[in-house]
Amino acid sequence: MPASLPPPPSISRRTALVGIGGATLAFCLGCSAQGAAPSGPVTIKVSDVPVGSGTIVGGFVVTQPQAGTFEAFNGACTHQGFLVQQVTTSAIVCGRHGSTFALTDGSVITGPAARPLAKATVTRNGDQLTIS
């Protein structure tokens, strides 16, 4: 005669739902911040930042709205935290949901973002810029 196996462990429906909900929340929070945080200070040549536009480097956005004037921002869109994708001659653009930000101060031009980009520090040393 075969030996009988013990019954499988049981968990309550509530415990299962709480576990699934927690795992889903953790997954979603991880996805929403994808590529958003700068990894630390970055260095870029002054010549790599076009006058009247800008560039994205190391999670930062560096702009040169006027010749010799440099601004820097955290590249995380304030709508959902995704990294902005483009800098044009008129705006910093998050193509994910269409938010745009000013080159001069990171303020919101069009939403859905409601807050400006976080300001970063830009330091010039000769032909190099350090962004932090």
Q: Considering only 24-28, 52-56, 114-118, 121-125, which range has the smallest mean pLDDT?
A: 24-28
Mean pLDDT of the chain: 83
Residue of higher predicted confidence among 1 and 34: 1
Cα end-to-end span (Å), the chain: 73
The radius of gyration computed from the CA coordinates of the chain, to the nearest angstrom, equals 23
Work out the pLDDT band at 14, boundaries 50, 70, 90: low
pTM of the model: 0.71
- pLDDT-based confidence at 26, cuts 50/70/90? very low
- Specify the pLDDT at position 96: 86
The pLDDT value recorded for residue 49 is 96
What fold, for 42-131? Answer: Rieske Iron-sulfur Protein (2.102.10)
CA distance readout (Å), 92 to 49, 71, 72: 13, 12, 11
Give the model confidence (pLDDT) of 48-87 as tens digits: 999 999 999 999 999 999 999 999 999 999 999 899 999 9
Q: Which among 58, 59, 56 is positioned nearest to 103, based on CA atoms?
A: 56
